[in-house]
Structure 1
């Protein structure tokens, strides 16, 4: 994403897990606020977000407590999207995305689609989980035979809109279901944003297929809230 840097970090915390995930988020927020005392640090479930350079660079830090004894596919308890705890297996999830990304003909499409979806999220301040978008992008691309940025972004947004950002079962079978948003309020906002984006993306793709590149550019620019690269 031009002009934006997003870093996702998992902080494995030793010792016993507190009963409340709010406590763990508070620990991480306080530690980061002390380290980056002149930078805005906020809790945005399920992570703690550090907003560098006025928000153009963000770190999303996820507190985690290991629950599995084996080293090959570690499993952690992490804060749930809205409350409580959920399980996560980051190594297994990364392996899943990488395996889809490397399928013949996709040209690294899983990660490219995830980056486009995250750009839409950040440029429009859509309150949806980056991890959810990444896993859904891999799931979508897993049944494709090739990757075309415009076509697949449009169809991906339409698919997410059709399933109404439903919770996702872990494709690796090692962790809890993935929630798209942190609350009912943010879910309603994200779904509204998604509906608008899917409509605009379809109009952009239709214009592109009709040979009207200038019209397509205008619609894509709306999808990305005025941040679509200049022609």
Structure 2
């Protein structure tokens, strides 16, 4: 039986959702990672906070890193020093594992890279009892402010709006799948926050139509830096450098064009052509039959 576009998106979104076994496997490393960081002689640890796609419910199956913010105590050094402290602590505990600095995090590649952790050093700047705000390493240098719980609250709030229930996270997951399957050098956090911002202005959710509109909107604004919608932290960028942004914009324009062709084909009752264009958008990973 031939798939409709609606059915294909339902199947695709189900395939994108990480399995419980994937979360369980990653959770087994959490204690050893935290123990390693707590044992550092260079810094103290106030607490750990899981951030990112896995905790937000927007991750991609088999392509979902675990993001862990370590809230440090003591005097704040340069961001380069904080990253080096984290790398040295982890490398001492996992000498046979790849551990490298990839701003703004320290990346740990377990099982030859099959399981990846990204550790983000942070220093809390907000008073206890208020929304947690941290100084974290900037994409290129220095420090920037971040409010991970406020950002999650924002995404959850939009996601629960009447009419689009679940739509914000579905759109974020689709955007991250586009990024992942086409190796687009763009921030997953940026894609998620922009997806929530886009869906906040919508009255309903249709995967094909709103994916197209979202990609065209990002193309129109040329991946502009985004103000923190909660007013708690720094503006954040889509890409880490001018070179990667140029590449990302090229990939984005191609995807937006193909998504529009898919919508046009579906509206003309040409389902096969619509599915073919969507398959191109998602790097030949989209279900077509």
Instruction: Using structure 2 for the length normalisation, give the TM-score.
Output: 0.74
Q: 1:45 aligns with which of 103, 106, 110?
A: 103
State the Cα deviation string for residues 10-60 of structure 1 (Å, max 9, x = none): 2222222212x1222222233334444444333332223334456554333
2:139 corresponds to 1:89: no
- Report the equivalent of 1:11: 70
Aligned 8 A contact 1:123 1:224 in 2: yes
Q: Which secondary structure does the structure 1 equivalent of 2:196 belong to?
A: helix
Which structure would you say has the larger Rg? 2
CA RMSD after TM alignment: 1.9
State the Cα deviation string for residues 157-185 of structure 1 (Å, max 9, x = none): 11001000000011111111011111111
In structure 2, the CA distance between the partners of 1:81 and 1:210, relative to structure 1 (3 Å rule), is same
Aligned 8 A contact 1:109 1:141 in 2: yes
Following superposition, which runs of at least 4 residues in structure 1 exceed 6 angstroms of deviation?
Answer: none
2:201 corresponds to 1:143: yes
State the Cα deviation string for residues 46-96 of structure 1 (Å, max 9, x = none): 223334456554333222111112234011001112221110111111111
- Give structure 2 stretches of 5+ with no counterpart: 1-15, 17-60
- Correspondences of 1:67-216 after superposition (within 5 Å): 67-216=125-274
Q: Distance in 1 between matches of 2:208 and 2:111?
A: 30
- Give structure 1 stretches of 5+ with no counterpart: none
Aligned 8 A contact 2:276 2:288 in 1: no
Q: Distance in 1 between matches of 2:286 and 2:88?
A: 36
Q: Distance in 2 between matches of 1:116 and 1:217?
A: 15
In structure 2, the CA distance between the partners of 1:84 and 1:147, relative to structure 1 (3 Å rule), is same
Q: Distance in 2 between matches of 1:6 and 1:129?
A: 13
In structure 2, the CA distance between the partners of 1:58 and 1:121, relative to structure 1 (3 Å rule), is farther
Q: Distance in 2 between matches of 1:210 and 1:57?
A: 43
Aligned 8 A contact 2:226 2:235 in 1: yes
Aligned 8 A contact 1:82 1:181 in 2: no
Question: How many positions carry a matched residue from both structures?
Answer: 230
Aligned 8 A contact 2:215 2:256 in 1: yes
Q: Which secondary structure does the structure 2 equivalent of 1:48 belong to?
A: strand
Instruction: Using structure 1 for the length normalisation, give the TM-score.
Output: 0.91
Aligned 8 A contact 1:5 1:56 in 2: no
